[in-house]
């Protein structure tokens, strides 16, 4: 009998094709795991019946030798992706009972590849958060604990905290995430797994509930780099329904295995050595540099001079877009409504009660920075900063092929921490936000541990649409890290 908990997606595909086990067996296993670990609160809406039906269908396909690329692989779907007939909440009370009658392109692509939906994973409300503590459906718990205090409950990171925690604790083989400023990479780093944010436009945003449209990008959260490539292959597509989706040719992402690190130029940006960068993370970063050297890559010191301004620019642009994107949740057509005679009161009470504190904070910030008299000073300036940051990357990619940085300035922290000062929470994103603003592909790969045996991820940023090189570098780390 195969040990399911050790299976990666790629090995499960082999096992299924060899008839070592069936998709129904595999799915049943994960259903039980999810039930056993309900305390982690990874799933908002489990879809076990659907999962078993899909698994049965997959087994038939395998028997008929008609299997598709992810045939029979049970995954978690972040509750930001609209799923036809299955409740989709975005972690918010305002969509507590919302059942879409349409399917997001990313989830549709995955189902068309044979993947199986175990359920909708928990997330920060409207993807606004870095600890998965803003969900209306409760906190998600990181299955990992510090060595010295086994009872301390840590955050899984956010906003794709449910997906990350579920993959980490073996409740699904992989999961979808969405990354606006680090929402895939940061939780992947906190949970010791692989998180890939593709180039902006690589995956369609159709049916993905919008937070900040110019930044939102779907991506996979998986145990291995190879699994990441497998999932991305299904998720990515040009989509007529998304005007910002890219027509760039989609390569075979598994070709990352043929890309040599030898001779690649790896940029180390000095600006990422920020105040407050955890010394253990610093050590892992140095170790990463040595791995690249040992593989024959050339290390280049680079400068991304506007890095400092990335976080403030991000926290202007993202809330500004969100303030308009979330205006549709007004209680008129669907979702939560607080009935009032007066329309203005209906709006105020519906939105007042329907949104959580962090969402309201960002909507207020967003509304403020777009207001007459403040637009130029905040929003317009932030757009200019964004342009400068893009230019920085464009410039350095003339002299290097990939950029290596830590994913986060710190490891996973206990639930309840960083809750009083929002700025402290926002600082979690300081190393992931620049690549988001520039729309670049970036991966977080587990690369080491701190003294407390908490995982530390390194981030690799690539040129636009060069996910393959990013995956290749990630896979090299996987090979050399020694665990």
Partner 1 sequence: MEYLIDGSMNKWELILGLEVHAQISSRSKLFSEAPTNWGADPNSQVDLVDCGMPGALPVINEYCVEQAILTGLSLNARINKTSIFDRKNYFYPDLPQGYQISQFEYPIVGKGFIVINCDGVEKQIGITRLHLEQDAGKSMHDQEVESSFIDLNRSGCALMEIVSEPDMRSPTEAAEYVKKLRNILRYIGSCDGNMEKGNLRADVNVSVRLPGEELGTRCEIKNVNSIKFIQQAIDYESKRQVEILESGGSIKQETRLFDPNKGETRSMRGKEESHDYRYFPDPDLPPLVLTDEKINKLKKTLPELPDDKKKRLMSEFKLNDYDAEILVNDKDIAEFFESTVCGRDGKIVSNWVTGEVFSYLKRIEKNIKESKITSNKLGGLLDLVIDGTISNRQAKEIFEDFIDSDEDPRKFIQERGLVQLSDMNEIENLIKSVLQQNPKMVEDYKNGKEKLFGFFVGQVMKVSEGKANPKIVNETLKKLLK
Of the residues 183, 237, 444, 475, only one is catalytic, namely 183
Residues 274 and 278: their CA atoms lie apart, in Å, by 9
Task: Rule CB under 8 A: say whether 210 interacts with partner 1.
Answer: yes
Task: Rule CB under 8 A: say whether 363 interacts with partner 1.
Answer: no
Crossing angle, helix 9-17 and helix 48-63, to 10 degrees? 50
Looking at 71-79, 139-147, 200-208, 439-447, which segment touches partner 1 (CB under 8 A)? 200-208
Crossing angle, helix 48-63 and helix 23-36, to 10 degrees? 160
Least distance (Å) between residue 382 CB and partner 1 = 11
Looking at 169-177, 201-209, 259-267, 401-409, which segment touches partner 1 (CB under 8 A)? 201-209
User: Applying CB under 8 A, which of residues 4, 190, 285, 379 lies at the interface with partner 1?
Assistant: 379
Q: Is 159 a catalytic site residue?
A: yes
CA dihedral defined by 249, 250, 256, 262, rounded to 10 degrees? 20
**CA–CA–CA angle 82, 464, 248 (5° rounding):** 65
Residues 173 and 98: their CA atoms lie apart, in Å, by 27
The encoded tokens of residue 153 equal 């409950």
Task: Rule CB under 8 A: say whether 205 interacts with partner 1.
Answer: yes
Residues 227-246 as x/- pattern, contact with partner 1 by CB under 8 A: -------------xxxxx--
List, as one string, the DSSP characters of 78-135: ETTB-BTTB---TT-GGGTT---SS--HHHHHHHHTT-EEEEEEP-SGGG--SSS---
Task: Rule CB under 8 A: say whether 88 interacts with partner 1.
Answer: yes
Least distance (Å) between residue 389 CB and partner 1 = 16
Least distance (Å) between residue 370 CB and partner 1 = 4
Q: Which residues of 36-53 are buried (b: 16+ CB within 10 A; e: fewer)?
A: ebeebbbbbbbbbebbbe
Residues in the chain: 483
Least distance (Å) between residue 44 CB and partner 1 = 15
Least distance (Å) between residue 88 CB and partner 1 = 7
Number of residues that bind partner 1 (CB under 8 A): 42
Residues 218 and 222: their CA atoms lie apart, in Å, by 13
Of the residues 104, 159, 228, 237, only one is catalytic, namely 159
Least distance (Å) between residue 251 CB and partner 1 = 23
| 456 beta partners | 448
User: In this structure, what are the phi and psi dihedrals at residue 196, rounded to the nearest 5 degrees?
Assistant: -120, 125
Residues 243-272 as x/- pattern, contact with partner 1 by CB under 8 A: xx----------------------------
Q: Where are the beta strands (DSSP E) in 183-340?
A: 194-197, 217-222, 265-269, 298-302
172: nearest Cα among 72, 22, 56, 103:
72
Rank residues 302 and 326 by Cβ distance to partner 1 and give the closer one: 326
Rank residues 99 and 300 by Cβ distance to partner 1 and give the closer one: 99
Residues 61 and 114: their CA atoms lie apart, in Å, by 9
Rank residues 81 and 253 by Cβ distance to partner 1 and give the closer one: 81
Residues 309-338 as x/- pattern, contact with partner 1 by CB under 8 A: -----------xx-xx-xxx-x-xxx----
Task: Rule CB under 8 A: say whether 157 interacts with partner 1.
Answer: no
Report in angstroms the alpha-carbon separations of 355 from 126, 156, 330, 375.
9, 22, 11, 25
Local structure of 452: helix, strand or coil: coil
**8 Å CB contact between 167 and 140:** no
**8 Å CB contact between 226 and 445:** no
Task: Rule CB under 8 A: say whether 44 interacts with partner 1.
Answer: no
Q: Which sign does the torsion angle of CA 106, 184, 251, 205 carry?
A: positive
Least distance (Å) between residue 385 CB and partner 1 = 15
User: Applying CB under 8 A, which of residues 2, 61, 213, 308 lies at the interface with partner 1?
Assistant: 213
Rank residues 200 and 413 by Cβ distance to partner 1 and give the closer one: 200
Other C-beta atoms closer than 10 Å to the C-beta of 327 total 12
Q: Is 399 a catalytic site residue?
A: no
Q: Which of residues 288-307 bind partner 1 (CB under 8 A)?
A: none
User: Applying CB under 8 A, which of residues 367, 391, 480, 481 lies at the interface with partner 1?
Assistant: 367
The encoded tokens of residue 350 equal 């519906």
Which one-letter DSSP state was computed for residue 12? H
Least distance (Å) between residue 46 CB and partner 1 = 21
User: Applying CB under 8 A, which of residues 12, 75, 209, 468 lies at the interface with partner 1?
Assistant: 209
Of the residues 33, 58, 78, 309, only one is catalytic, namely 78
The encoded tokens of residue 454 equal 């908490």
Q: Is 78 a catalytic site residue?
A: yes
Least distance (Å) between residue 215 CB and partner 1 = 8
Looking at 26-34, 99-107, 146-154, 185-193, which segment touches partner 1 (CB under 8 A)? 99-107
Rank residues 262 and 328 by Cβ distance to partner 1 and give the closer one: 328
Under the rule (CB under 8 A), what is the footprint of partner 1?
81-82, 88, 90, 95, 98, 100, 102, 104, 205-210, 212-214, 240-244, 320-321, 323-324, 326-328, 330, 332-334, 343, 347, 367, 370-372, 375, 379
Would you name the residues annotated as active-site residues?
78, 159, 183
């Amino acid at each position: 009998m195969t040990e399911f908990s050790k299976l990666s997606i790629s090995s499960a595909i082999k096992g299924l094709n060899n008839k070592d086990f069936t998709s129904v067996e595999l799915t049943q296993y994960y259903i039980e795991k999810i039930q056993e670990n309900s305390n982690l609160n990874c799933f908002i809406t489990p879809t076990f019946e659907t999962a078993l039906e899909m698994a049965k269908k997959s087994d038939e396909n395998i028997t008929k030798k008609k299997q598709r690329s992810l045939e029979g692989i049970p995954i978690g779907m972040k509750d930001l992706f609209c799923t036809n007939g299955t409740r989709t909440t975005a972690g918010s009370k305002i969509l507590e009972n919302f059942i879409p009658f349409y399917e997001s392109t990313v989830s549709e692509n995955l189902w068309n590849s044979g993947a199986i939906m175990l359920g909708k994973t928990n997330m920060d409300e409207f993807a606004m958060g870095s600890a998965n503590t803003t969900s209306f459906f409760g906190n998600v718990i990181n299955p990992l604990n510090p060595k010295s205090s086994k009872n301390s409950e840590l955050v899984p990171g956010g906003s794709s905290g449910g997906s990350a925690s579920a993959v980490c604790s073996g409740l699904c083989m992989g999961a979808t995430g969405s990354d606006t400023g680090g929402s895939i990479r940061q939780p992947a780093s906190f949970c010791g797994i692989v998180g890939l944010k593709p180039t902006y436009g690589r995956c369609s945003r159709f049916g993905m509930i919008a937070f900040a449209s110019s930044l939102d990008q779907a991506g996979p959260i998986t145990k291995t780099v190879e699994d990441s490539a497998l999932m991305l292959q299904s998720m990515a597509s040009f989509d007529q329904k998304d005007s910002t989706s890219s027509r760039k040719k989609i390569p075979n992402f598994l070709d990352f295995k043929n890309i040599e690190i030898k001779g690649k130029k790896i940029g180390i940006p000095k600006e990422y050595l920020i105040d407050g960068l955890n010394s253990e993370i610093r050590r892992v970063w140095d170790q990463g540099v040595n791995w690249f050297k040992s593989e024959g890559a050339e290390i280049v010191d680079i400068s991304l001079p506007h890095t400092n301004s990335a976080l403030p620019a991000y926290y202007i642009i993202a809330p500004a877009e969100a303030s308009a994107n979330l205006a549709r949740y007004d209680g008129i057509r669907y979702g939560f409504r607080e009935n009032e005679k007066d329309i203005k009161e209906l709006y105020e009470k519906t939105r007042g009660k329907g949104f959580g504190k962090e969402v309201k904070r960002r909507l207020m910030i967003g509304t403020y920075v777009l207001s007459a008299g403040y637009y130029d000073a905040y929003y317009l300036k932030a757009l200019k900063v964004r342009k400068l940051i893009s230019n920085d990357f464009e410039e350095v990619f003339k002299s290097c092929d990939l950029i290596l940085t830590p994913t986060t300035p710190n490891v996973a922290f206990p639930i309840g921490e960083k809750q009083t000062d929002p700025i402290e929470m926002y600082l979690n994103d300081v190393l992931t936000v620049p690549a988001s603003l520039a729309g670049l592909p970036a991966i977080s790969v587990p690369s080491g541990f701190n003294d407390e045996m908490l995982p530390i991820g390194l981030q690799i940023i690539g040129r636009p649409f060069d996910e393959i090189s990013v995956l290749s570098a990630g896979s090299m780390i996987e090979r050399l890290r020694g665990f």
